[in-house]
Structure formats: structure tokens, C-alpha cells
Amino acid sequence: MSLDVVDLRSFYDSPAGEVARRLIGRIVRHRFSNCTGYSILGVGYATPYLGVFREEAVRVLAFMPAQQGVINWPSSGYSASALVETTTMPLPDSSIDRAILIHGLEITEHPRDLLAELWRILTPGGRILVIAPSRSGLWARLDSTPFGHGQPFSRSQLRDLMRETLFSPTHWSEALYVPPFKHRTLLRSGIMFERIGGFFGLPGAGVLIVEATKQLYRPIPSLRRVQDSRPQFAPAPEPVGIAPVSTFEP
């Protein structure tokens, strides 16, 4: 089920949404720490995480799925948001240096097509951050947050999906260890939850965050040795029932 853009905007205006933006945003910024001169694309509902790049990147775009709806972003100046079909984005090949996918992979009916399209528009060596709900996390089990809608992922499922679409995962992170409750005191403890959960590698994080690079060539699977794969033939038996040919001497 796809979330409406109004619901997403309302969530990020709430205390829980502010905590999510802050905790996920610190990882996004850490992984994409210097984007001077780059083109950056946010896909899904990425606008809460794109503002920090506007001062240094050449361009920052926000593409939102057609079934979700679109809002004007940024609030001032020229609009950089667009309503698109995420499997056929209106961008040329190899035109984006960095991509952020959030609130998109779990709700699309064609996750492989979406990632394949992002592979197409990324430059050689381009990098992508995919943020997806964790199957083991509490945030994916409550539909009061956007992360409780759509298909959550395990780490192995997300890794296999990335590799199938020719992305090479280079770094894994987790966020949202803090429970998605509305109690403000609990939400203020978000940083403490993140530090404890990250330090001990505890299960139960709300989202998985994988950074991956674009592979230019499809990896060649390991092959068996040629001689092992050839059919084995037994020696032919001696012919029987045939008289020997005599040698004629004049």
C-alpha cells in the first residue's frame, strides 16, 4: 500500500517524524559527507534529507512516485520536485552522482525495476543510499508510521536485491532503535538508544541503510573446470562376431 504525500508530510511534522529525520539524517550526511559539484537525486519521499546538500551540490532533485503524489520543494525558489513513474525517470543515462531512496522501495510493486532505473541514471562509480524498513524492527510493525507500510526487508533480502540489480553494497548501517511511541521523553532519548544499539549491534532497528556503488560489469559466476563438466565416455568394447580380414598374398 502506497502512502499519500500528505500523510508523509504530516508524519515528518510530528515529534516522531522529527526524531526519524534527525537519526536517519545523521547517517545520510555521514555517508555523503562532501557532495561539492555533484548531482543528487532523492527518490520516494526524500525531501526531509535533501536540504543539507543544497549549498554544495550542483543540483538537488526530488522525484516522487506517481501513486504517492508530489509536493512543491523547496518551499522557496525554483521547484526541484517532480511527479514521476519511478521505473522510467525523465533523466539521461549516467546523469546523477548520488541517489537517496527512502519511502520508495518497500511500496513499489517492481523493486528490481526501480533499482535498475537508478542504476541507469547513476554515473560510473555513482553511489546510492537505500533506506528500507527492517523486518525485525518495531517501526515496521506499526502502521502509525510510514515505515509500517509496504514490504519490510531483512538484511539478506536487501543484499540479494542490490546484487541482482548490479549494485555492490559497501557499507551497512541501522537506525531507529528508539521505539516509535509518541511520548516526548522517550523520543528525546533517541540518541541514547542509537548509541547503545549501534555499539552492541543489537537487533530491532527500525530501518536498514545500505550504501552501494554502481557496478559496470556483471560479475562472472564461478565455473566448474571444463573437464569436470564434459560428459564422460567409457572406452568402446572390442567388436565381436566379425571374422578377421585375411591378408592376400599373390
In a domain, residue 197? The reply is yes
Residue 79: give the domain boundaries. 5-215
Instruction: Indicate if the pLDDT at residue 195 is higher than 70.
Output: no
Task: Provide the CATH number for the domain around residue 121.
Answer: 3.40.50.150
In a domain, residue 28? The reply is yes
In a domain, residue 223? The reply is no
* pLDDT of res. 235: 56
Percent residues over pLDDT 90 in the chain:
64
What digits encode the pLDDT tens for the residues 89-116?
999 999 999 999 999 999 999 999 999 9
**How many domains would you assign to the chain?**
1
Instruction: Indicate if the pLDDT at residue 221 is higher than 50.
Output: no
In a domain, residue 204? The reply is yes
Instruction: Indicate if the pLDDT at residue 189 is higher than 70.
Output: no
Instruction: Indicate if the pLDDT at residue 250 is higher than 90.
Output: no
* pLDDT of res. 187: 56
- pTM of the predicted structure, to 2 decimals: 0.82
In a domain, residue 226? The reply is no
In a domain, residue 229? The reply is no
What digits encode the pLDDT tens for the residues 223-239?
444 344 445 555 555 55
* pLDDT of res. 153: 96
Number of Cα atoms under 13 Å in the Cβ half of residue 178:
26
pLDDT bracket for residue 143 (50, 70, 90): confident
